[in-house]
Each structure stands twice: as C-alpha cells, then as structure tokens.
Amino acid sequence: MKLMAGNSNLPLASAIAGYLEMPLTRANVRRFADEEIFVEILENVRGEDVFVLQSTSYPANDNLMELLIMIDALRRASAKRITAVLPYFGYARQDRKPGPRTPISAKLVANLITTAGANRVLSADLHAGQIQGFFDIPTDNLFAAPVMSSDIQTRFSGKQWMVVSPDVGGVVRARALAKRLDNAPLAIVDKRRERAGESEVMNIIGHVEGRFCILIDDIVDSAGTLCNAAAALKAAGAEDVVAYCTHGVLSGGAVARVDASALSELVITDSIGNHAVIAESAKTRHLTIAPLLAEAIKRIADESSVSSLFD
C-alpha cells in the first residue's frame, strides 16, 4: 500500500500518513511556466495499492486537474489499484438540473475521475447521497458525525442540546447527529432562497427557547445561511448557538461574517486546507478527520468493512 498526496491539503495528508505510520510517496507535482501541471512519481508503484489524497477545493479546477494527472501517472506506472481519496468533493452542489440548460457537473467530474483511471473513490459527507451513484466504480462516503458528536459531548456536556438543521434538505443529517447525542430534540430553520448565495430565514420549526442550539451542515460557503439561522434562533430565545460543518469553503467575507454573527463558534473539519483563513477568525476552529480517513484507508487496503466504522 502507498499513500500519495497532491498540493491541496498537505497538512491533512501528513496527519493521515502519521496515523498509518507510513511515509507519503515521493512525487514531483509542479507547474510549468504557463501553469500546466506536471507530475512525476519518484518511487516504484508497480503492483501497489495506491491511495491519492486530494481535495478539489479552491482553486477547484487546478486541484481537480492535479488529481486527474496523478491518477493517470499512477495508471501508466502500473499501479494495481488506485483509490481517489477526496476529503472534499468539489462540484458536488451541482448534482441536478435546477433549471433548463444547466449542467450536472458532479456527474461530469465523476466521469473524469473514472476515465482518468481511478478504481475506487473515498470521500466524506458528500453534499447529496445520490452522487455515489454518479460513479461507475465502488464509492465510499464517510460521515463526520461521530467526530462531531464526540467533540460536542466533550465540550458542551450538561447543556440542553437541540440539533438544528439550517434547511429542510439537511434534516436527515441533523437527525443522524441528534441520534448520536442521546436522541436530542430536533428543530428546522425554514428559509427561502431568493438567489444563489443569499438566504432569508422565514420561520423556526421547533421550540428552541432556553436550548443550546447546534446547527449542523455539510458545507459552509458564504456563511450567510448559518449566520441568518443563528440570528433567528437567538431571536426565538435560544440560550446559545454553535455550528458544526464538515467542509469549510468559507469564500469571500465568510470569516468576517461569522465573527460578526450571533454564532458563538463555528467548527469545521480539516477536509479543506484553509488553515491561514481560520487563523484570522476569532470564532472558527478546526476538528480533524485524519483518523477517520486513515482508518477507512486501512480497512479498504485490508479488504475489511468500512461501514462498521459508524456502528
């Protein structure tokens, strides 16, 4: 088994390698003068089971091309099996046609990864479960809920928890976390999105007065939805509001928006390598999913059960 990493999230890759007690495969991933990507693998990988770690986060297109070229290089170097490990799967929000003459980019990216030569995909908290079906190769979707629930129980024990979904579409995710938190009660924020990147909170479904509210979502991008939801929860009498999100995209002025919001804390995992951005925030912190990904990689290599991680 070998572990190879692109440039998108080297701290996470190093943490996974440390957990597995193995070095990262030596490779040269660089740019030509015109920004073309060049990959050279500096070790023999013939007949090896290779895991390629790369989040397709900002800059999404560069990181995606890096991943595709690394997979192609491994295939041409006669690797036995290539598993694309995507802690964050970019383009996942384009998983359907919301209107006429629009693409389903998540399916296109799935096709590109498969065509490049990947034999298997491992990701975390895909934006929509049906994306697994976009791949014609085995695909494992890990959940960050166990890591989050452990952190909540450690830091906020004794509180009157209430898990809150920021929209109707996230109810299944919120219910799964609530179940892990001793079947905590559930609330839903009913919102209406007038245009992309903007949201308006309309109503709170559930009694949140005096409760310690935990907002749960898979992706935080502009943070507008979370900040509006936190303000609405506070207005409805919530004792405090924290947010847990797997993928911290945090584009534009998201960090400043979170720091100025009613949120007490925003907790994101390290699926995206934006550590410099987080360091500037007074309210945002990282929660590592390196042990979760490393354990899944180990089980795939050993041909043992991945789903039992969540039993």
Residues designated catalytic: 191
The identity of residue 183, as a single letter, is N
Q: How far is 282 from 95, CA to CA, in rounded Å?
A: 33
Query: β-strand 284-287 against 37-41: which pairing, if any?
Result: unpaired
Binding residues: 34-36, 93-94, 127, 167, 193, 217, 221-225
Preceding amide of 166 cis, omega within 30: no
DSSP state of 207: -
Q: Environment class of residue 287 by beta-carbon count within 10 Å: exposed (0-12), middle (13-18) or buried (19+)?
A: middle
DSSP state of 228: H
Distances in whole angstroms, Cα of residue 210 to Cα of each of 49, 171, 233, 239, 304: 52, 21, 10, 5, 45
Two structure tokens written together for 271: 């699926």
Binding residues for ATP: 34-36, 93-94
**CB-hemisphere CA count at 13 Å for 196?**
4
Q: How far is 245 from 80, CA to CA, in rounded Å?
A: 35
Q: How far is 138 from 127, CA to CA, in rounded Å?
A: 18
| Residue among 19, 23, 21 nearest 3 (CA) | 23
Distances in whole angstroms, Cα of residue 74 to Cα of each of 48, 69, 96, 155: 10, 9, 31, 43
C-alpha of 190 from chain center: 24
Q: How far is 18 from 23, CA to CA, in rounded Å?
A: 8
